Amino acid sequence: METIFLVLDFISGHIITPLFLHLSNWLTTLLIRPMDFLHIATPLQVFLLGVLTALLSWRLRIILRIPEKTEAFRRIFQKKKHEQGILAKGIEDKYARDALLRVSDEEIDEEYNAFMADYFSRYGMAYLLPVVVAMAWIQNVFPQSALFEKTGSILLVDMGSKVLGIQGLSVAAVFLMAYLLSLICLFGYHGLRKKRRARQILKGRM
């Protein structure tokens, strides 16, 4: 066991940590320094990083073929549900029909659980991982101690007095808001484009 821990410590201390440190330095040089050079305010920097992370998530979503996989599951689900409906119609006895529906529900649940696990993995890779990794990096770039030295507050946007029970916005709050807003905009734009395309196809047919 001791040897395993030694190996894990070695991998972590000599490969993974230096790799992430380099990545962090590289990202700082590429993103933060130019923004500093342009005198962009810290809250806006964090906001822009949220937008960039959302764009990364959007790109990952396409690379991981999430819409296609979801569509495939939807088809399987509909097929099973369809079969269940036909089965239920063929049984006259209410109790037998209920029992059948319950068991076939369970069967579909199993399918659903497996899908959800896969779903979690894909969406985790597209959305959760970029957010947590970006946040881990951002908290190193804008640590609370540095914010306190710079602005006299550990909050990124200090409202001074409490507004609706909120004293201000932390780095995490600004970043997450920017991320979510950007994703909402991206999904909205995507939806609009799809609708427009569908309309154009319809017009073409007519």
Binding residues for another protein (CB under 8 A): 5, 8-9, 11-13, 16-17, 66, 70, 74, 78, 81-83, 85-87, 89-91, 96, 99-110, 112-114, 116-121, 123-125, 127-129, 132-133, 135-136, 139, 144, 154, 165-166, 170, 172-173, 176, 187
Instruction: Render the burial of 112-128: b for 16+ CB within 10 Å, e for the rest.
Output: beebeeeeeebbebbbe
Residue 41 Cβ vs another protein, minimum distance, rounded to whole Å: 21
Residue 33 vs 81, nearer CB to another protein: 81
CB of 36 to another protein, least distance (A): 22
- Looking at beta carbons only, is 34 or 159 nearer to another protein? 159
| Residue environment code for 59-97, b if the CB has 16+ CB neighbours within 10 A, otherwise e | ebbeeeebeeeeeebeeeeeeeeeebeeeeeeeeeeeee
Q: Which is nearer to another protein, 38 or 163 (CB)?
A: 163
What is the CB-side half-sphere exposure of residue 197 using CA atoms within 13 A?
Answer: 6
The CB-of-66 to another protein minimum distance in angstroms stands at 8
Nearest-approach distance from CB 38 to another protein, in angstroms: 26
Helices (H) and strands (E) in the chain, counts: 9, 2
